C-alpha cells in the first residue's frame, strides 16, 4: 500500500530526533541508481525542516559483473567509494550520513565512523520503514540483550530439528541495532532490532539443521527441505540435503574463497513489529529482508566476513540465515525458547 509523504516525513523527523540531529549539522544523503525516490525526497525534507545543512551525494553502482544477484548485499567489499577521495572527504566532513545506497563492510565506512561521523542505513520500502519506526523501547530492549551477551562466554543453539551449535565468545565486541544513531561514530540500520556478536575465531563447533520455513538471504527464499550444515573449527565443512543444499553450495563456491564458509555474526531478533511472513509478500528486488533478520525470537547466523568487528576476513560472500523455533542459551541462561524471546531474561539482575 502506498505511503503518504507526510507520514514518511514525520517518521524521518522522529528518527532524526532520536539520532540527536541539531540545527546546523551537516547531513549528506548517499544515493545510487536503486535509491527509493520517496525515501530520498522525504529524508531530505525532514532533515531540512530540522535545520540541517543537507547535501546529496549520488554515486554509480558497482559489482554488477561480479554479483549473481541484484541484491546490494550479494557482493561485498568494493563500493562506489573505493578510490573516490572527493566522495570520502565529503562524507567524513558530515555529521550524519543517511545511507540510501547500502554501504557495508568497507574500509571507507570504518574511516567515516572512526572520525566521529554517524551513518544510518535505510533502504527498505517506505511502508516497512513506517511499520518499524525505531523507538526508545527498541533501544532499551536491545541494550538489555547486549548486556547479557557481553557477559557470556558461550552461546549454544539447539532445536528440535537437530541443531546443536556451540560458539565460544569473548574475542569480538557485541553489537545492538535499534534503528537510530545517537552517539558519534555509530552505525545503525532502520529498520532493525536485534543483538549479535561474532564467535571466537576458529572455535565454533556443531551442527545446524535448517528446516522448512527458515530463510536464506540474499536468496530471499524460504527453505523448503531439511538442510544440514556441519561446522568444525569455525567453518562450515559440509552442506548436505537435497537440491536446495546443492544450490546453496554452488552459490558459495562461486566466490572461490574459503573464507566464505566461516561462521560470521550470531545473535537473535528482538523486533516485535517484524514478521516472518513479510518476505513472501514482496518481490525479491523490493526488499533486503530486514523483517526476517529482526523478527523477535529468531536465531540469526551469518557466513562470511568479520572485518566489521575488527577481524581480518573480507570475503565478498555474505549470507544471513534467520532460523525459527530455536533455543538460544548464553552460558546457562536461556534467552530464546523454541523461537520466542524469554522476556524475563531481559529484566534479570546482572549476573555475578
Residues 119 and 218 in one domain: no
Position 69 scores a pLDDT of 83
Domain count, the chain: 2
Residues above pLDDT 90, as percent of the chain: 85
Residues 140 and 239 in one domain: yes
Residues 208 and 323 in one domain: yes
Residues 14 and 42 in one domain: yes
Mean pLDDT value of segment 44-53: 98
Position 72 scores a pLDDT of 78
Position 63 scores a pLDDT of 78
Query: Is pLDDT above 70 for 349?
Result: no
Helix residue ranges, H only, the chain: 5-18, 37-49, 85-92, 107-114, 126-131, 136-151, 243-253, 290-294
Query: Is pLDDT above 90 for 348?
Result: no
Q: Domain range for residue 74?
A: 5-131
Query: Is pLDDT above 70 for 352?
Result: no
Query: Is pLDDT above 50 for 71?
Result: yes
Position 70 scores a pLDDT of 80
Q: 3-state class of 88 per DSSP?
A: helix
Residues 308 and 237 in one domain: yes
Residues 125 and 141 in one domain: no
Residues 144 and 83 in one domain: no
* Residue 185 maps to a domain: no
Residues 118 and 211 in one domain: no
* Residue 258 maps to a domain: yes
Q: What is the pLDDT of residues 303-338, one digit of tens each?
A: 999 988 888 888 999 999 999 999 999 999 999 999
Contacts of 196 (CB under 8 A, 6+ apart): 149, 174, 175, 265, 266, 267, 268, 300
Position 61 scores a pLDDT of 84
DSSP codes joined into one string, 281-332? GS-TTT---HHHHHBTT-EEEEES--GGGT-S---S--EEEEESSEEEEETT
Could you tell me the pLDDT band of residue 145, with boundaries at 50, 70 and 90?
A: very high
Mean pLDDT value of segment 217-232: 97
Position 126 scores a pLDDT of 98
Query: Is pLDDT above 90 for 257?
Result: yes
Query: Is pLDDT above 60 for 350?
Result: no
Position 79 scores a pLDDT of 84
Residue 253 neighbours by CB distance under 10 Å: 12
Average pLDDT, the chain: 94
Residues 236 and 250 in one domain: yes
Could you tell me the pLDDT band of residue 88, with boundaries at 50, 70 and 90?
A: very high
Residues 163 and 22 in one domain: no
* Residue 186 maps to a domain: no
Mean pLDDT value of segment 229-253: 98
Position 259 scores a pLDDT of 96
Residue 76 sits in a domain of what CATH number? 3.40.50.2300
Mean pLDDT value of segment 8-31: 98
Residues 106 and 142 in one domain: no
The lowest-confidence range among 20-24, 47-51, 111-115, 173-177 is 111-115
* Residue 181 maps to a domain: no
Position 123 scores a pLDDT of 97
Residues 74 and 171 in one domain: no
* Residue 85 maps to a domain: yes
DSSP codes joined into one string, 170-221? SSS--EEE-S---STT-EEESS--EEEE-PPTT--EEEEEE-TT-EEBTTTE
* Residue 199 maps to a domain: yes
Could you tell me the pLDDT band of residue 62, with boundaries at 50, 70 and 90?
A: confident
* Residue 316 maps to a domain: yes
* Residue 184 maps to a domain: no
Position 351 scores a pLDDT of 39
Mean pLDDT value of segment 290-312: 93
Amino acid at each position: 500500500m502506498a505511503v503518504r509523504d507526510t507520514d514518511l516525513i514525520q517518521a524521518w523527523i522522529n528518527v532524526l530526533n532520536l539520532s540527536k540531529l541539531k540545527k546546523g549539522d551537516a547531513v549528506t544523503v548517499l544515493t545510487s541508481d536503486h535509491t527509493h525516490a520517496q525515501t530520498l525526497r522525504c529524508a531530505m525534507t525532514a532533515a531540512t525542516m530540522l535545520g540541517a545543512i543537507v547535501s546529496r551525494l549520488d554515486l554509480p553502482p558497482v559489482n554488477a559483473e561480479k554479483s549473481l544477484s541484484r541484491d546490494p548485499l550479494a557482493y561485498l567489499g568494493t563500493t562506489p567509494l573505493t578510490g573516490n577521495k572527493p566522495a570520502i572527504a565529503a562524507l567524513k566532513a558530515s555529521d550524519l550520513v543517511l545511507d540510501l545506497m547500502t554501504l557495508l563492510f568497507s574500509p571507507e565506512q570504518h574511516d567515516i565512523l572512526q572520525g566521529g561521523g554517524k551513518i544510518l542505513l535505510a533502504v527498505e520500502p517506505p511502508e516497512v520503514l513506517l511499520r518499524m519506526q525505531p523507538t526508545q523501547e527498541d533501544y532499551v530492549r536491545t541494550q538489555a540483550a547486549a548486556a547479557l551477551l557481553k557477559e557470556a562466554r558461550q552461546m549454544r543453539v539447539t532445536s528440535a530439528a537437530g541443531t546443536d551449535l556451540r560458539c565460544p565468545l569473548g574475542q569480538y565486541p557485541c553489537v545492538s541495532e535499534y534503528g537510530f544513531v545517537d552517539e558519534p561514530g555509530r552505525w545503525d540500520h532502520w529498520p532493525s532490532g536485534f543483538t549479535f556478536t561474532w564467535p571466537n575465531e576458529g572455535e565454533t563447533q556443531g551442527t545446524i539443521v535448517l528446516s522448512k520455513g527458515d530463510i536464506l538471504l540474499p536468496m530471499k527464499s524460504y527453505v523448503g527441505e531439511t538442510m544440514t550444515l556441519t561446522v568444525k573449527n569455525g567453518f562450515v565443512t559440509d552442506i548436505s540435503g537435497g537440491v536446495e543444499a546443492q544450490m546453496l553450495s554452488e552459490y558459495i563456491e562461486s566466490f572461490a574463497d574459503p573464507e566464505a564458509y566461516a561462521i560470521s555474526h550470531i545473535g537473535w531478533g528482538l523486533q516485535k513489529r517484524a514478521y516472518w511472513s513479510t518476505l513472501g509478500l514482496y518481490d525479491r528486488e523490493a526488499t533486503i529482508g530486514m523483517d526476517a533478520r529482526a523478527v523477535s525470537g529468531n536465531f540469526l547466523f551469518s557466513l562470511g566476513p568479520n572485518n566489521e568487528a575488527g577481524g581480518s576476513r573480507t570475503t565478498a560472500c555474505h549470507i544471513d540465515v534467520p532460523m525459527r523455533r530455536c533455543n538460544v542459551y548464553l552460558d546457562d541462561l536461556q534467552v530464546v525458547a523454541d523461537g520466542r524471546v524469554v522476556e524475563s531474561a531481559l529484566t534479570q539482575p546482572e549476573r555475578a
